[in-house]
Every structure is written in C-alpha cells, then in structure tokens.
Amino acid sequence: MIEAPVRPTERTRRVYTGDRLRAVAMPLGGLGTGTIALAGDGSLRQWQIHNQVNHLGLVPDSFFAVWTKGYWVKGLKPPIAAVSRVLQSSALYDSEGPPAPPTSNDHEVPAAHRRLLEHLPGVAEIAYTGEYPIAELSYQDPALPLEITLEAFNPFIPLNSKDSALPAILFNFTVHNPTDRTMNASIAASLQNAVGWDGVAPISDNRCPLYGGNVNSVSRLNNQTIITMSNAWLPGDDSRNGTMALAVDSPDATFLSQWADRDAFWEDFSVDGELANVADSSPSAAGSTW
C-alpha cells in the first residue's frame, strides 16, 4: 500500500517577533520607482526614491500613530483616558543581537528613529509577517485596548508592468475593538517633504542644506484627502525636482499641511485624535522643510 503524504490545508506563516525583528526590512515600491523599507520596529527606512542608491538613506519624521479613547456603555462610568502611541517600537534599541554579516546593515537603527521614540511614546511590541509584496504588522501595548494591524504593499500585478510600476506604497490599517466598551480611534500619518533632497545628504530633523522652498498643499478629490508636496525653488529640469504625496481614503480626514515642531504636532493629535485643519502652503525657509 502506498500512502500519499498528508499536506496541511493551510500553509504555515512565519511571524517575526522579539529579537528576530532586528534585521527585518521589506522594500516597498513600484517597479523601477525606487523603494522604502518597512522595518521590524515599524519604522520606514532605506529611502531610495531619489534617483540614488543609499541603503542608509533616511527621511525623518515620517511615521504612523494611533489615538484612542474609551467610554463605558450608556455612560455609566467616566470616560477612559485617551492614549496616543507612535506605531513604532524601541524594544530592541538598547540591546545587541547576534553579529550581523559584513554585507548587511538592516539591523542598524537610525539615530532619528531613536530620537523620535525618546520624545514620543511608541508601542511595546510588534509582530511582523513579511510575504512580498505584502507586509503585515500587529502592534501590542498594555495601554492600548484595541487590536491594531497594518497591511502594507506596493502594486505588483503579474503580466501588468504598467500598473506594477506605479510609484506608490499602500498602507491599510485595521482597528478592532475586543472590549465591551465603546472606543473611538484614529490613525495619523506624517511624511516629511523631501523634494530637493539628493538621497544622500544627512537630514537633521527637518533641516538639510538641500532643503528650502518646500511647499505642501491640501486638496479633496474623489473622496480622498491629499497633501501634495513640491519645491517652488527648484528648476523644472533639476534632477532633484519632483513631487511627493500623502493621501487617505476619506473626504473628512483632518490635517496639518505642514509642521516643524514635533511636540506641537503630537500635542494637537493627542488631545482628541484630530488635527487642526490648517492648510498653510507657504514655502519653507532655506535649509529647512516641513
């Protein structure tokens, strides 16, 4: 008698947690458009979208955050205090893992990410499933009563090179309330206007000698809220010129078109999970951006 091997009905998925997150970094971006890596700590690293190969390229102050506040059913008890967290974890920042191979620097934590979580609270832990072109992250923190997950991916359509080459990364957040309380929640996204950067020069917070004249404009289009980022000072044929955009599938999303004070931004968001709807499109000063 010959018996066929028993195959599982569902394949086993590899989930990275703890120390195994140290060197996780999935590059995301359309074909031929450059990539940004989503790292195991939840941060965005290895910015290579400026016509330059630089595995350590970094655009600071580009992150996601969550705000939540709870209410008891029928208001029988006082509201539960609001909680805000950057969706990034510093759990591995102060410890050393096994020696990395000399050809890899995925484990190196950028100084800007350390500074971010020194100023703002991050989540305690992250679980990461990476199956290209999709990365799935779940965020855990004792202060967060909600289950928060992220699905991040770039267009990748077999036999369709045109749409697979869209210069875009999509981030789908899911928030689930497993409690018996009514919970309000919101997700914030911050993206620095890096138009004019050469992909190599160091950026300190929002300052870089290549910055200046950076402009952010807000629009509502096709049920989306969009912040379009450009540079008013660069000639049209300059290789550093171009546009960036941060868009959300909501016509009612609140926004700050620009900010240069991280603490002020966080204070605004942490109060009620909304932003002040300020649409300032003035250009940044020489050597700085928004």
pLDDT number for residue 103:
85
pLDDT number for residue 76:
60
Q: pLDDT, tens digit, for every residue of 177-203?
A: 999 889 999 999 999 999 999 999 999
Give percent of the chain with pLDDT exceeding 70. Answer: 94
Establish if 110 belongs to a structural domain.
yes
Distance CA 28, CA 2 (A): 46
Establish if 67 belongs to a structural domain.
yes
Distance CA 225, CA 221 (A): 7
Amino acid, single-letter form, for residue 76: L
The range of the structural domain enclosing residue 191 comes to 15-271
Greatest CA separation for the chain: 80
pLDDT number for residue 180:
87
Angle of CA points 26, 273, 278, to nearest 5°: 95
pLDDT number for residue 78:
67
Establish if 136 belongs to a structural domain.
yes
| Tokens read off for 64 | 């996601």
Q: In 156-274, which residue ranges form alpha helices assigned H by DSSP?
A: 161-164, 262-272
Residue owning tokens 């077999």: 158
Q: pLDDT, tens digit, for every residue of 76-86?
A: 666 778 999 99
Residues in the chain, pLDDT under 50:
1-8
Establish if 30 belongs to a structural domain.
yes
Establish if 281 belongs to a structural domain.
no
Strand partners, 246: 227
Amino acid, single-letter form, for residue 272: D
pLDDT number for residue 8:
47
Q: What is the DSSP string of 112-176?
A: HHHHHHHHS-EESEEEEEEETTEEEEEEE-TT--SEEEEEEE----TT-HHHHT-S--EEEEEEE
Strand partners, 63: 190
Residues 44, 31: contact at Cβ < 8 Å? no
Establish if 225 belongs to a structural domain.
yes
Strand partners, 226: 219, 247
Establish if 48 belongs to a structural domain.
yes
Number of independent structural domains in the chain: 1
Residues 194, 58: contact at Cβ < 8 Å? no
Total-model pTM: 0.92
Q: Helices 262-272 and 111-119 sit at what angle, rounded to 10 degrees? A: 50
Establish if 1 belongs to a structural domain.
no
